[in-house]
Structure 1
Amino acid sequence: MDELQRLEDWVTPLLGKLSASEQRALARTIARELRADNAQQMRSQQAPDGTKWEPRKPSGLRSGRGAIKRKAKQAPMMEKLRAAKHLKASATASEAVVGFVGRAERIARVHHFGLRDKVKPGGPDYTYPARQLLGITDAQIERVRELLLKHLSL
């Protein structure tokens, strides 16, 4: 996070020279980029630092007709959470925010921090392994710098 603080210290005087609408437009561009990067990381099922998520616990053998013979492949994790409907990018003149909204926010919090929750309503409790969904990497910080410089050079 020290790198993020250094970026903020570097950016603050530059942003002060922009109008509020220009700041908002820049923040919106940055938020969209970060949202796309985080969705890509979720698609590849890895944390922002590059470590792979703990695999999903295998379900019972009888999960559908013929599942034993074909060893049915499980669907990828967090497929719906990474959709733009749930993973939102928003911006104001002072900040760019990427986060989950609504019911998806609660589900994402459980998985991100590895909390205990019900598997389904009325079902058993399960302590989910922590799978970091959102974060910022050094490459993303560099991309933010590039976007800022590009915006300022126009």
Structure 2
Amino acid sequence: MVDDIQQIDDWIAALLLQIDPAQRRAVNRRVAYELRRSQASRIASQRNPDGTAYAPRKSQSKGLRSKKGTIKRRAMFARLRTQRYLKVESDSDGLSVGFRGRAGMIAIVHQYGDKHTSRTGQQFITPKRELLGLSKQELDSIADAYLRHLAALD
């Protein structure tokens, strides 16, 4: 997949060098927002970029304290995929879609899967759930968005 991204990047970079920076900034912004929308919808459907389902949450044990601190069984990352946390940056040189700050730390733990320790010293193992990544459809939609913009200039 890295080779696909590199090929698209090289191909589009050569085409974009032929237009002025204001046009490049506009098309990068449009593509970044489209990419954020597709990433958020993929996260909402609980899918990795390769199409596999996210690893399910660990089941909660029924103990004396099962009420306190329980996880409500709704879709994972409901707030994390909102515009408040899933940020877009773009300029005439490039674009990025990602998480910043505390949301970024949470996303990194899930993106790569990690073993971490809480403040109380309890250790947790988080399974890998790829929040950000490009699927084949997203790569195609990025290329199409650039082509549509370049075709409109002619």
Using the size of structure 2 for normalisation, the TM-score is 0.87
How big is each residue's C-alpha offset from its partner over 1:35-72, in whole Å with a ceiling of 9 and x where there is no partner? Answer: 111111111111011011110001133644xxxxxxx9
Structure 2: gaps of 5 or more residues:
none
SS at match of 1:18: coil
Query: Following superposition of structure 1 onto structure 2, how do residues 5-154 of structure 1 map, counting pairs within 5 Å?
Result: 5-61=6-62, 63-64=66-67, 74-118=73-117, 121-122=119-120, 124-154=122-152
Percent identity between matched residues is: 34
Q: Give the alignment's Cα RMSD to 1 decimal.
A: 2.0
Structure 1: gaps of 5 or more residues:
65-71
Q: Which deviates more from structure 2 when the two are superposed, residues 41-50 or residues 123-132? A: 123-132
How big is each residue's C-alpha offset from its partner over 1:63-99, in whole Å with a ceiling of 9 and x where there is no partner? Answer: 44xxxxxxx9711111111111111111011111010
Figure out how many residues of one structure are paired with residues of the other and give that number. 148
Question: How far apart, CA to CA, are the structure 2 residues paired with 1:133 and 1:80?
Answer: 13
Tell me the CA shift for residue 144 of structure 1.
1.1
SS at match of 1:46: coil
Question: How far apart, CA to CA, are the structure 2 residues paired with 1:118 and 1:27?
Answer: 39
Using the size of structure 1 for normalisation, the TM-score is 0.87
Tell me the CA shift for residue 111 of structure 1.
0.8
